[in-house]
Structure 1
């Protein structure tokens, strides 16, 4: 089955929920209104539907391969990447001064979803390059920017993030890669990095590694980590490529999913030391890397939405074609396509509602990012930054966890055929699993939500968001329709449960940390569920207005039905999640360690 980009749903979110008309009033974004968004998304859809999506299944069958220190990507990837970069897609939301198009994230994120849905393995290369660009824009010297940014933004060179080591996974305090200062101001880098996405490949002429390392004599722990640019090939004064740097791929991993994306083990400094260039100041590397991580975490959340959307499309097509059994209501005397069966409808609606809810949440957060970084009013910037920062762990954590449920349902809709690789349903399930792990596991996102985003300000940001949700509840009640009132009721129960949890987290994180962190992932899932449900509640109100005006009635009716389903079947989980966090903490740690 071919992929069809959900452009109409994206534009609905961009126009009505994320309010692109307000973003287009920000200086620099005047030309980035709805018309531009539509034109860009339609062009993006064309490239991905025709060129990149057909390679997704090929990449699963014929993964990247490693031989004699070189990685060869899936047949067709190199040519598709050339078309991607020639179209200017890598530079979509990066600054025009370095050759980018300077479009807002609200448009860039939607294009990101289309690319990730078309081919997640392929799309990981541009995603990591985006992270490297963000870090250099924030902390790179003028020299580093001049040498690397234009080439990265054009896609001629790609970027990587080098954090993980064999002994240092999530615990970056344990990083041992070392950097030795040289008289010319450069550093020699020595060490091993693992799990480096596109750490070696044949699609671009140079790879720019951003590497966490410890300068000799630096303090122990996270306070002694610095960030370095270590290019695969050295760059000459005229910008052309010179000698090979002392960084080499020694192997690539054999993985459960995203098989076409080469995950490299990189060795730095086996032949005298890899030349590295300090980014920013010594010992502030983790701070800079978090800029990359935050960009990547949002991007991974979008990957979850993307793979869920792709699995939904495939399941719907199968359910319309697969004939099996007579409908239980007697409406047909013969066997019918399985989409007539209520439980198949339940599965498909669950897939659809999850995907649309998370897509709406991510779109609204992208608009907040744009306002936080570009709005002329400092107070508006601050408010939007606070909102966006709160959203990042929800988008990363909730959207990726939901993608596992959705892609699993996709296999289930296919029945026994879903368990057979040739149908392709299983690939989405396998690909989705990594999303809850890399760029910080769901538990790490939950730790961030508890510690930095909730306990630190006593729950004030969380409660401010709850106030906005309460205002939406009031609008739904005023609307008076049965659907609006039903959604308002579920939203109110979920919001109250959320506030109970926020009080529990803020009040107990210091005195009873085990009790709070025992429920941290459940709190994250609860919060993500609430915010996605809130956005679908807003969508319902807009859809009813549009129907009253006679605009795109069928689409709007479907939006209302989806919002109602979300409220009845997904948002309704929140009160139970509240009970698990607030009342169930002791049972998590009750079993003695020896009993496991």
Structure 2
């Protein structure tokens, strides 16, 4: 049986000492973000995740979802746990108060989302997709659609999904076949099949609201002809309650490697009534609102599994007796020492810990840009926040989920053979984490997006802003002797990132394959540099905390130890990323296709 403790203290540290969240009290949604209120929200969220969600994690995985005659039954306890969650108002934490939400900052919602997924990924996915639907409708839907659907979605009475993938197309939506035909009453009729639809059918909510990408008549047969539609499972009646069943049904559910507690469905649309969201032929713009929110959420899922598996591995390492310490017996009263004395076990634990804490800080800093891009009064400041968000979202989606899976697998290794059996729960974390590298865009796509779109956009404005942010921090603290061990490696990382950027600029023009072949190396290099920046900020805060003699001194000490480990043992990976990047595409593309 696994255990989970929400990292509330670390989140409080990030909000107060790194992000200085309370400086934004003049912005909408931040008025109630005093340290006491934020701490109360985090601690109440921890109770729900630790006491309600996590106890169902292993049982939900073992039971899974059951499909019969188009209906899906979720694992025992899921429906009641979801009710506890929505009754507590958690589903509307960051949503617009005009439609029943609490209007709290997005960044706070992402912290709660980390807790939910860490505790129970399968269960957390049901409200998780709804959040993306809420954001897409808030940004693009007509007032009529907003009034009809947002209150129900925000309250959690109804849930939402995102429908893009079809059997013949995933990333390449030019191949989409789902069609929407306009009716005389202004609605549309949708026909087609979508697959891999998370939470597409279930028994948790009274209605399910599908956001569906489809092509309409008269438009080009490519992405420029795509529109977004709202398709409810049940059409609301005059009282706003679920009424007539719509022409959408679940054809089957997938039998998956992991997240068994969440239904992943084939959805069949047969002359289903749908309503246009936003403008015709502008569907991808509207869907990207939902996808970008989902990609930030998925990036955190990499942290979630690494964090949850780390917690259990650390407990096991302190308790499991095996062998003796190479530096001398540590446990005189026992026949063996606990395995945490062994340097290689420490290596595995420290690597996961340094990733978890650095990635959490970086994710929350990027999530803060969502709030600032929308709410800051100064147009240039809003643009800067938006640029950082656009640049770094593909970076953390791919890097966090790749590394999250790697370190989750490493944490299972600490259990040895016991990690490979079902009872300990460690193999479930590995299985559940694997999907994060695939959905919301397979990670290689994000590398291509970074070097092909985000990096050159607006003349490289976002990348220049990111580098200048780092350079400003370095210059400000260059003469701080206590920070030298952190500032030096950050400066070197920034130099390597600039070298990589220049190499891409010079060689991509020669052959597009060079940029594509080096895209994931470049993404990893940027991610490590961004993580080093956040570790510098955390080290500075910890040093200041120790100098003040106030606060949790042990916490500050441990934060500095972990920062040093990241700089010494993890940041040097940038050297290999740079060398591989510079090797280009020739050795990668030399074999003929038939020789594979």
Same fold at TM > 0.5 = yes
Identify the residue that residue 526 of structure 1 maps to in structure 2.
Answer: 525
Q: Secondary structure at the match of 2:92?
A: coil
Matched, 1:320 2:318: yes
Deviates more, 1:256-265 or 1:390-399: 390-399
Identify the residue that residue 564 of structure 2 maps to in structure 1.
Answer: 564
Identify the residue that residue 226 of structure 2 maps to in structure 1.
Answer: 225
Output the CA distance in 1 between the equivalents of 2:521 and 2:32: 41
Alpha carbons 2:248, 2:268 under 8 Å: kept: yes
Alignment of 1:264-303 (within 5 A): 264-269=265-270, 273-303=271-301
Identify the residue that residue 360 of structure 2 maps to in structure 1.
Answer: 359
Deviates more, 1:239-248 or 1:581-590: 581-590
Output the CA distance in 2 between the equivalents of 1:281 and 1:594: 45
Q: Secondary structure at the match of 1:277?
A: strand
Identify the residue that residue 542 of structure 1 maps to in structure 2.
Answer: 541
Alignment of 1:308-457 (within 5 A): 308-332=306-330, 334-457=335-458
Alpha-carbon deviation of 1:399? 0.9
Matched, 1:307 2:337: no
Alpha-carbon deviation of 1:461? 2.1
Output the CA distance in 1 between the equivalents of 2:18 and 2:507: 35
Give the root-mean-square deviation of aligned CA atoms: 1.3
Q: Secondary structure at the match of 2:181?
A: strand
Output the CA distance in 2 between the equivalents of 1:135 and 1:70: 27
Alpha-carbon deviation of 1:447? 1.4
Matched, 1:252 2:253: yes
Q: Deviations over 1:357-415 (max 9, x none)?
A: 11010111111111111111111111111111112112211111111111011111111
Q: Deviations over 1:524-578 (max 9, x none)?
A: 1111111012101110011000011112110001111111111111111112201
- What is the number of equivalent residue pairs in this alignment? 591
Identify the residue that residue 86 of structure 1 maps to in structure 2.
Answer: 87
Matched, 1:215 2:205: no
Q: Deviations over 1:185-230 (max 9, x none)?
A: 1111100010000100000000000001111232111000111111
Q: Secondary structure at the match of 1:431?
A: helix
Output the CA distance in 1 between the equivalents of 2:60 and 2:529: 36
Matched, 1:491 2:477: no
Alpha-carbon deviation of 1:474? 4.1
Alpha carbons 2:208, 2:233 under 8 Å: kept: yes
Output the CA distance in 2 between the equivalents of 1:468 and 1:133: 32
Identify the residue that residue 167 of structure 1 maps to in structure 2.
Answer: 168
Alpha-carbon deviation of 1:24? 2.1
Q: Secondary structure at the match of 1:234?
A: strand
Identify the residue that residue 580 of structure 1 maps to in structure 2.
Answer: 580
Alpha carbons 2:384, 2:462 under 8 Å: kept: no
Q: Deviations over 1:259-294 (max 9, x none)?
A: 11100001110xxx1111111111111111111000
Output the CA distance in 2 between the equivalents of 1:472 and 1:560: 18
Identify the residue that residue 116 of structure 1 maps to in structure 2.
Answer: 117
